[in-house]
Amino acid sequence: MKNNPFDDVDGTQAEILKATYQALFNHGYSELTIKRIGDQFDKSPSLIYHHYDDKDALVLACLEYLLESFESELIDDSIENPRERLEESIFWSVDPTFDAEAERFFTMMLELRARSTHDAAYRTYFERNDRIMHAYFVDVIQEGIETGVFREVDPDAVAETLLTLIVGAVHRRSSVESELSLDKLQVEVQMYLNRRLYKCT
C-alpha cells in the first residue's frame, strides 16, 4: 500500500498513470483535477492531454492497469494453501492496524464505485473487478474442497458473501470509521470461515 504501484513501469504513458494514481491517492476523486495530476508529473502537462481526453479516461486507465496486474499475478500462481490464500485475500479489508495511507485507498474505492451508478465505463470496470475477484475466490474454495480442508459448500455462494463483506467493510471504513469496530468484525469474519468453511478448527 505504501508504494505507488506504477513505480516500476517505464515510458511516458506509465509515468502519466503513476502521476494520476498519486494525485488520486492524495486528493481523492472529487478533488482530482488534471492540474493536480500535472503537479505529480515530471514532464510537460500538455503530454497528458495528448494521451488522454479527461480525468475519467486517466482514472479508468489506472484502474485497468491495476486490475490487469492483479489478474496476471493470480493466473501465475498455484494455490498451495487454500486457507492461507483465502484469508490473505479477505483480511486486509478488516485489518484494524492499517494506517491513514490505506484509509485513503479505501476512500478512493468508495468514491470510484459510486461513479458506477451514473457512468457506464466505471460500471463496466467494477463488474469486471467483481467478476475476477469472484472467480478467484471460487478457485481457492474449490481447491480447499478438493484437497479436503474445506467443507462441501457452494463455492459461488461463499465467494459472493466474502466479496460483499469486503465491499461493505471498505465502504464503511471510509464513511463511518469512528463507528466501526474493525477488531470485532475481523473476529466475526474468522468465525464465519471457521464455522462454515473449514474442517477441524
How far apart CA 151 and CA 23 sit, in angstroms, is 45
State the nearest-atom distance from the C-beta of 8 to its own copies, in Å.
29
Pull the grid cell for residue 88.
490473505
10 or 179: CB nearest its own copies: 179
Decide whether 147 or 164 has the Cβ nearer to its own copies. 164
CB 126, min distance to its own copies, A:
5
Q: What residues contact residue 152 under an 8 Å CB cut-off, 6+ apart?
A: 145
What is the binding site for its own copies (CB under 8 A)? Answer: 28, 30-31, 107, 110-111, 113-114, 116-118, 123, 126-127, 129-131, 134, 154, 156-158, 160-161, 163-169, 171-172, 174-176, 178-181, 184-185, 187-189, 191-192, 195-196
- How far is the CA of 41 from the CAs of 16, 70, 106, in angstroms? 7, 24, 24
Query: Up-side HSE of residue 193: CA atoms within 13 Å toward CB?
Result: 23
Judged by CB, which is closer to its own copies: 13, or 186?
Answer: 186
